[in-house]
Amino acid sequence: MNSKTYYCENCGGIMEFDVESQSLKCPNCDTEIHILNEKERIVEHSLTKHAMQTIRAEEKTTQTMECTSCGAKIEVDSTSTAVECPYCGSSYVLAQKQEDSIVPDGVIPFQIDKNRVGELFHRWIKGRWLAPGELRHLYQKERLQGIYLPYWTFDAKADGRYTAMGGRHRTVTRKGADGKTESKVVTDWYPTSGNIRRAFDDVLVPASRKLDEGLLRKAGVFGTGQMASYSPEYFSGYGAECYTVDLDDAHGEALRTMEHELEKMAREDVLRRFDEVRDVRVRADFRDETYKHVMMPIYTTAYTYKGKQYHVLINGQSGIVEGDYPKSPAKIAAIAAAVLAVILLVWVFSGGRKEEQYGETRNEWTEEICVADSENEEEMTWVYLEDSLPM
């Protein structure tokens, strides 16, 4: 297998991508090598039928390679394109394997240093107020992995026409049996339609299913402004994957995302003229469609709590943390008890007030106000309780 290690010209150490200097750096002697970034090389490709028919992930099999530093046999995952020797820590970049499938157009280099992730993890777990307190001590630096994940991005111009039903509110009043005027709001529905137009830029679709989809959807939000032109040097010291999701399938997903956005726009458009909206239907034409293949930085880690494994993803550009965590039964019970106490208090309180009102003329209207009041009180007490809970 064709593999490359970036040796330091000064001391022979293995150079790895360094977040702070955004260059290749030798950990022994601090020698730095600038990575060539030619932004003009990041081009959008036309999304042709041919591209969609031919850009397909091939079946790959696990391979073995020999570590040139320590001689160990390393098992390389079928989709990995940058690996570390588990015995001596040497970094290998399998650039050929990456480029065999399709040369990435761009890469967002890691912006968050490995050493900062522990701090981000602690802050995240501290903010999950239902998580047991012990979780804070479960972060293990050794379980952290930084990998470049492949994505497809799509651009398109969309012209759409929509139909919908718009609702207008109207207040009707009538005299009740007791001589008082009652009023209520009714909605009249009218058919409506309109045109919408939008240019989409860099709609991201993951090209690998290696990581938890739900977590990745939340953690995998990247700003493409920091995109650099592709160079395998960025992968040194990290893991990297080649794509396993076909361009065609990813395009379908991107279209669904764009259609969803157009529907949202149509809804907002209707609400400019009406009070309510329903039954929105959009027909859109997409033109000038282009795509890019890019690599995005993600840290993955996991921790074990009471025999169960929980996964956590950290965005390597923004530092956003998304992960699974257990909810403490004791904390949930404490909150349930507190809520129950509040409801009981409110009930006693509003019950007392109602009794006072029995003396006066009692009508439906004042009772409604009373209920609304107690709901507010409950909410205010909630906030207070949340803040005072031991974390």
- The binding site for Zn ion (CB under 5 A) comprises 8, 10-11, 13, 26, 28-29, 31, 67, 69-70, 72, 85, 87-88, 90
C-alpha pair distances (Å), 303 with each of 118, 138, 331? 12, 6, 21
C-alpha angle 354/356/358, rounded to 5°?
Answer: 75
* Residue 54 or 68 with smaller CB distance to Zn ion: 68
- In the bound state with Zn ion, the residue whose beta carbon lies nearer, of 79 and 90, is 90
Min CB(26)–Zn ion separation in Å = 3
Residue 94 in contact with residue 82, Cβ under 8 Å?
yes
Radius of gyration over alpha carbons of the chain, in Å? 29
Q: How far apart are CB 141 and Zn ion at their closest, in Å? A: 20
Give least dist CB 84 to Zn ion, A: 9
Question: What is the smallest separation between the CB atom of 117 and Zn ion, expressed in angstroms?
Answer: 24
Nearer to Zn ion, 31 or 224 (CB): 31
Cα separation, 174 vs 161, whole angstroms:
41
The nearest distance, CB 34 to Zn ion, in angstroms, is 15
Instruction: Give the torsion sign (CA, 245, 248, 253, 258).
Output: positive
Q: Which residues contact 266 (CB under 8 A, 6 or more apart)?
A: 160, 162, 164, 194, 196, 280, 282
Taking the complex as a whole, the smallest distance from the CB of residue 70 to Zn ion amounts, in Å, to 3
Comparison of 13 and 326: residue with beta carbon closer to Zn ion = 13
Nearer to Zn ion, 87 or 349 (CB): 87
The residue (of 64 and 309) whose beta carbon lies closer to Zn ion is 64
Count Cα atoms within 13 angstroms, Cβ side, for 266. 27
Nearer to Zn ion, 16 or 249 (CB): 16
DSSP 227-267: -EE--GGGGTTSEEE---S-HHHHHHHHHHHHHHHHHHHHH
Cβ 14 to Zn ion shortest distance, Å: 9
| DSSP classification of residue 360 | S
Q: Which is nearer to Zn ion, 35 or 47 (CB)?
A: 35
Least Cβ distance, residue 27 to Zn ion (angstroms): 8
Q: Please, what is the minimum distance in Å from the beta carbon of residue 29 to Zn ion?
A: 3
CA separation (Å) from 193 to 23, 165, 263, 299? Answer: 54, 8, 12, 46
Cβ neighbour number for residue 348 with a 10 Å cutoff? 10
Here the tokens at position 242 are: 């080649």
Q: Exposed/middle/buried for 202, CB within 10 Å: 0-12, 13-18, 19+?
A: middle
User: DSSP string covering 98-143, please?
Assistant: HHHH---SEE----S-HHHHHHHHHHHHHH-TTS-GGGGGG--GGG
Q: Which is nearer to Zn ion, 71 or 351 (CB)?
A: 71
Closer of 31 and 381 to Zn ion (Cβ): 31
In angstroms, the CA 265 to CA 268 distance is 5
Pure H helices in the chain: 49-54, 95-101, 114-127, 213-219, 247-271, 329-358, 364-388
Q: Of 26 and 135, which CB lies nearer to Zn ion in the complex structure?
A: 26
Shortest Å, Cβ 36 to Zn ion: 20
Minimum CB–partner distance for residue 17 and Zn ion (Å): 15
List CB contacts of 255: < 8 A, sequence separation 6 or more.
286
The answer to whether 126 and 323 have CB atoms below 8 angstroms apart is no
